[in-house]
Amino acid sequence: LLVSLLLLCAGTQLLFAGPSDVLSDSTYSPDDRARLLAVFEEAERDELPTDALLERLVEGLSKNVSADRMEQALRTDIGYLLRARELLAASDSEDILEMAPAWERAANLLRSGWTDDTLVALATACRTRPESFREASILVISLEDWGVDQLTALTLTRAAVDRLDPHDFPEVAALLATAQRRRIPLSQAATIIEEGLAEGRSIRQLRTLINRTNEVRT
Amino acid sequence: MRRSIGLLMMLLFGLAGVLHANPPVLTIGAEGHSGIGSSDPGSITFAAGPELNLDFRTIIGDWGYGLVWYTGRLWFDGLVAPTDAQSAGGLIGAQLGETTAELSSRVSFSTPLGDGMTFAAPEWKLLARVPIGFTELGITLAGLYYFENESPLTELSHGAEIALVMDGSLDLGLTAGLSSYLSLFPHQFVLDDGGLATAERRTDTDARIGLEAEGLLGFFSSWSASVAGGFIESNANRYLPALDIVETDSEDRFFAAGSASIDSSVIRSMALSGLLTIRFSHYPSRRSLDQNGNEVAPDTAALRFEPGAGMDWNLFGPVYLQINASGVYGVSRDQSMSGWSAGGSVGIHYRF
């Protein structure tokens, strides 16, 4: 119980701690602290979300990263946040910008190597349902990791965003896996799923159709 | 050929409404399987032959979906003529407001051309799922006719099932159901006290209750589990030559079964699957017999374990390798219900 309380206190402290609190506990020199704090102030002036930057700072401190490298990492993150804002705004996806975690997610996608076009395509797909942006990005990444080309992954994700609860996005991947076992070419499986969702077919109906499950008694 | 089939399918479904035509999926291949069992452990069976599979699926307008398919296999096991196993079926589903309706049918058959058993088994199923609050009510009517010329296995069975389906989120789906089937065996006759056939045909009534659950493990793996139990009441009896008696209610039995399966396709080119089914049956009025037909217990209980595993590997492009293994291990005081068997198959398929 005591350990739990201590952990809870530590977590609460971190939750409410700002960059100055975190830096005051660091081994950086006063000049370095001021320099890093200035980076945060710049971010706030630019109206950027700073939660992810703070996490980066805590991570760097735990790894004893030098102040120079720390500043460089923070400025890189800020660059991705600015780029993400620019792209999201250009694709009329301001709703995503209003959700800091989604904005930070977009920046992380750029950091991981996503092209501007890919991010814009995903943001456009989520324009009507910005709250599904995070799950949609996970679906695209999962499909690509599995072997689906990016265009097909984005097409299926757009269909999923339009019709499914974000919690059910993995069902699209599961349908593709079933189609693969049924020897259905990927392009045809994607077409059936995309058209089926667009026409209001449920996942259960599509699963029946793809998996050929019409046995009477099993 | 594919084009002709595709045109035919397009015509069939095109009549039903707006058509989103997909080309049929045609695969050909060859498969071999081998088996061994406790009845003759020194003998291993082998059979191999070609197979063909054809599927056609389509979304039909804004209201439905459809599927037709055919699978055919030929088995050569050293006999002069091969044995064939074929099946064909279709399904049409419709979204009627919030209600889903599906009508499906298939027929499995083996032709008289081969040396094997000739049979035909048409089946049909009508299913409706009606949303009720946060659940769905599933109503199924189904029937099958297994026809094997003059064989006691010939069976006509019809039944109904009612189920509650809870999968507001498909990450975890639950189905609880009740079902009942009535089966008539036109070539099995109830015996009189002297062991002679009467004019009364065997009739079974099957009532069961079941619970199924299924879910996803991440994005490309899924699991399912089910338990079911019930009772089969039958008017069948049997003559026991060693005891010279007619045993009444010999086919009445309680049964319970549990099954669990997992499918995983962590990478696109490979899928692995595993399945374990455990079945328990208790025949309260059926004597357990030894191999000479002598009574060893006044009732019969049997436990069966049925494990299985499979691998589906997309070797490259349109070429697939499929490996399956399965087994059965039965435990019972009744000699005919105990024993084991194991088998495996290897197939290679080419998709056009």
pLDDT digits (tens, 9 = 90+) for B26-75: 999 999 999 999 988 888 888 899 999 999 999 998 899 999 999 999 98
Nearest chain B residue to A214, by CA: B104
pLDDT at B4 over 70: no
Q: State how far the Cα of B348 lies from the Cα of B317, in Å rounded to an integer.
A: 13
pTM here is 0.86
Q: State how far the Cα of B323 lies from the Cα of B74, in Å rounded to an integer.
A: 18
User: Are A170 and B219 in contact (CB < 8 Å)?
Assistant: yes
Q: How far is A137 from chain B (nearest CA, A)?
A: 13
Residue of A139, A168, A192 with shortest CB distance to B57:
A192
Residue of A177, A206, A212 with shortest CB distance to B271:
A177
Contacts of B62 in chain A (CB under 8 A): 199-200
Nearest chain A residue to B179, by CA: A217
Q: State how far the Cα of B105 lies from the Cα of A214, in Å rounded to an integer.
A: 7
State the average pLDDT over residues B310-321.
Answer: 95
DSSP one-letter code for B249? T
With beta carbons less than 8 A apart as the criterion, state whether B142 and B124 touch.
yes
Residue of B25, B89, B170 with shortest CB distance to A203:
B170
Question: What is the per-residue pLDDT across A165-183, written as a single tens digit (0 to 9) for each?
Answer: 999 999 999 999 999 999 9
Residue of A167, A191, A216 with shortest CB distance to B142:
A216
DSSP one-letter code for A22? H
Phi/psi of residue B240, nearest 5 degrees: -110, 100
Torsion angle of alpha carbons A156, A161, A166, A168, nearest 10°? -50
With beta carbons less than 8 A apart as the criterion, state whether B67 and A212 touch.
yes
User: Are B95 and A200 in contact (CB < 8 Å)?
Assistant: yes
User: Are A195 and B93 in contact (CB < 8 Å)?
Assistant: no
Q: How far is B314 from chain A (nearest CA, A)?
A: 9
Q: Is B87 near chain A, with CB under 8 Å?
A: no
Tokens of A162: 């339009």
DSSP 3-state assignment of B279? strand
Among A3-7, B15-19, B141-145, B347-351, the minimum mean pLDDT is found in: B15-19
Token pair 């660091």 is at which residue?
A26
Q: How far is B219 from chain A (nearest CA, A)?
A: 5
Q: How far is B289 from chain A (nearest CA, A)?
A: 30
With beta carbons less than 8 A apart as the criterion, state whether A103 and A85 touch.
yes
Cα-to-chain-centroid distance, residue B263: 18
Phi-psi category of A161—alpha, beta or left, where left has phi over 0 and alpha has psi -120 to 50? Answer: alpha
Q: How far is B2 from chain A (nearest CA, A)?
A: 15
- For chain B, the straight-line distance linking the first and the last C-alpha, in angstroms and rounded, comes to 11
Q: Is B255 near chain A, with CB under 8 Å?
A: no
On the CB side of B309, CA atoms within 13 Å amount to: 2
Q: State how far the Cα of A107 lies from the Cα of A77, in Å rounded to an integer.
A: 8
Question: What is the per-residue pLDDT across A124-167, written as a single tens digit (0 to 9) for each?
Answer: 999 989 999 999 999 999 999 999 999 999 999 999 999 999 99
State the average pLDDT over residues B299-311.
Answer: 98
Among A23-27, A186-190, B143-147, B330-334, the minimum mean pLDDT is found in: A23-27
Q: State how far the Cα of B26 lies from the Cα of B56, in Å rounded to an integer.
A: 9
Q: State how far the Cα of B259 lies from the Cα of A69, in Å rounded to an integer.
A: 56
Q: How far is B268 from chain A (nearest CA, A)?
A: 5
Strand partners, B253: B232
Count helices and strands in chain B by DSSP H and E runs: 1, 21
Residue of A180, A188, A195 with shortest CB distance to B23:
A188
Q: Is A75 near chain B, with CB under 8 Å?
A: no
Q: Which of B212, B220, B222, B323 to probe the A interface (max A CBs under 10 A)?
A: B220
User: Are A170 and B216 in contact (CB < 8 Å)?
Assistant: yes
Q: State how far the Cα of B247 lies from the Cα of B238, in Å rounded to an integer.
A: 5
% of chain B exceeding 70 in pLDDT: 91
Cα-to-chain-centroid distance, residue B340: 20
Q: State how far the Cα of A73 lies from the Cα of A84, in Å rounded to an integer.
A: 17
User: Are A142 and B220 in contact (CB < 8 Å)?
Assistant: yes
What is the predicted ipTM?
A: 0.86
Q: State how far the Cα of B36 lies from the Cα of B38, in Å rounded to an integer.
A: 7
Nearest chain B residue to A147, by CA: B268
Question: What is the per-residue pLDDT across B183-233, written as a single tens digit (0 to 9) for each?
Answer: 999 999 999 999 999 999 999 999 999 999 999 998 999 999 999 999 999
Question: According to the model, what pLDDT value does residue B162 have?
Answer: 96
Token pair 């009364």 is at which residue?
B200
Question: According to the model, what pLDDT value does residue B117 have?
Answer: 72
Give the DSSP H/E element, type plus range, for residue B142: strand B135-146
